[in-house]
Amino acid sequence: MHTPAIDCGFPGGNILCDSVSADEVSLRQDQRDTIAYPWFYWYFRVRGASGRPLKFLFKDSVVGVRGPGVSLEGGRAWRWLGAESADERSFLYTFPEDAGGVRFAFGMPYTQADLDTFLAHRQSHPNLKAVTLCQSRKGRPVESLTFGRLDGKAEHRVMLTARHHCCEMMASYALEGVIDAVMADDAVGEWLRDRVEFMAVPFVDKDGVEDGDQGKGRHPHDHNRDYAVPCLYPEVAAIRELGFRWSGNRLRFSLDLHCPGQRGEWHELIHFVGTPNADEWARTEQFCEALANSVRGALPYRKENNLPFGVDWNTPEEYEDASGEPRSAGRWLGNLPGVWFGACIEIPYANAQGAEVNTETARAFGRDLAAAIRLYLD
């Protein structure tokens, strides 16, 4: 019986393989320059294992609450393997008889190919435009999307960002849901296209997304701790410049989309992260109330699930450098003139208060976010 082949030679791939036998694979995530603390992103492919059961054993506890994401379609479609076939450090998978390359990942990856497919299906829509914001450090084009009312006469502006931490892929599906809700031929979409201009940066850490990095805790600091000048990353520098130029006293709020940790407590709840400014947080909680009243999809949200300022990891040093200058996207954008608030939302990878997070439920939650934006601004 030949030994199966393990690799990560595709966009977003990440794995280090220590040993491979006929029935067991020992492996670990590639930390690269995430050296402050261990993180858990991995994404690999197995070939040559048709019809066989294989156990995958990780060095660290890096398997999520619903087991790994599994794709038999080259990463174009995903499902959870299920908790019954996995624990925190391992999972068992029996390959179909006709299996070619089967992909496994901590979550349900979203890379440049996914964004390209999404935009290709909507390229003729007059209320959605994509331009290049900047070039990444490795020369990749970084997209900026504008959608909604695009004639410059919108009453309100809203900025959305995702993938400051490149491994946090489920946020990208939610962003797709927001965009589709704005494009929809219904009351919410029509209202938003009439009144609101949106700006979105889908991949703030474009190189990390494509290279398959962990991203969070990147040395010497990651993209979401780069807003105190001088900026290390061209994407953040471009967002700072764009924020000043585009806001025009009509930027009502910004929303930075993230995913939390693996499992337990805050990591299995959709929640907003509290800010140190009491007035700004009060306005954020007004939006949270609108969101709680707008949920129609499978993923629940309750305002009581928010992470208050000063609790757990949510401490002052997360927001400002030693001189008091904002370090994170939410804090920096929230300080622009005329902005009501800048917020950070955490969307779990796999489990939200018992409900399954997947590509479709995350998109549906994005549509709920758009409905909340409409309700809040109205």
DSSP 273-341: BP-S-HHHHHHHHHHHHHHHTT--SSS---GGG-B-TTSTT--GGGTB-TTS-B-SHHHHHHTSTT--E
Q: Return the pLDDT at 277.
A: 84
pLDDT of residue 340: 92
Q: What are phi and psi of 123, to 5 degrees?
A: -65, -20
pLDDT of residue 320: 64
To the nearest whole number, what is the mean pLDDT of the chain? Answer: 94
Report the pLDDT averaged over residues 257-285.
92
pLDDT(121) > 90: yes
Distances (CA, A) of 105 to 62, 90, 299: 10, 12, 22
| Percent residues over pLDDT 70 in the chain | 98
pLDDT of 323 higher than 70? no
Q: Where are the beta strands (DSSP E) in 153-195?
A: 156-162
- pLDDT tens readout for residues 179-199: 999 999 999 999 999 999 999
Average pLDDT for residues 324-331, to the nearest whole number? 81
Does position 321 have pLDDT exceeding 70, yes or no? no
Domain 112-377: CATH architecture, name and number where available: 3-Layer(aba) Sandwich (3.40)
The confidence score (pLDDT) of residue 36 equals 73
The pLDDT of residue 369 is above 90: yes
Taking residues 204-219, what's their average pLDDT? 97
pTM above 0.95? yes
Say how far apart CA 334 and CA 339 lie, in whole Å.
6
Domain-by-domain residue ranges, the chain? 5-105, 112-377
How high is the pLDDT of residue 314? 75
The confidence band for 107, taking pLDDT boundaries of 50, 70 and 90, is very high
What is the radius of gyration, based on Cα positions, of the chain? Answer: 20
Tell the residue number behind the tokens 């299906």, with chain if given: 121
pLDDT higher than threshold 70 for residue 318: no
pLDDT given at position 319: 64
Answer yes or no: are the C-beta atoms of 156 and 174 closer than 8 Å. no
Residue range 347-356, pLDDT digits in tens:
999 999 999 9
Q: Which pLDDT score is estimated for 322?
A: 64
Higher pLDDT, 62 or 1: 62
Handedness of CA 33, 34, 35, 38 (dihedral sign): negative
Q: Does pLDDT of 324 surpass 70?
A: no
> What mean pLDDT do residues 235-243 have?
95
What whole-number percentage of the chain has pLDDT above 90? 84
pLDDT of residue 326: 72
Confidence of residue 274 (pLDDT cuts 50, 70, 90): confident
Q: Which residue has the higher pLDDT, 325 or 330?
A: 330
Q: How many CB atoms are closer than 10 A to CB 19?
A: 9
Provide the CATH number for the domain formed by 5-105 in this structure.
2.60.40.3120
Residue 266 has pLDDT above 90, yes or no: no
pLDDT tens digits, one per residue of 64-106: 999 999 999 999 999 999 999 999 999 999 999 988 899 999 9
Beta strands 251-258 and 341-346, pairing class? parallel
pLDDT in tens, 160-185: 999 999 999 999 999 999 999 999 99
Confidence of residue 22 (pLDDT cuts 50, 70, 90): confident
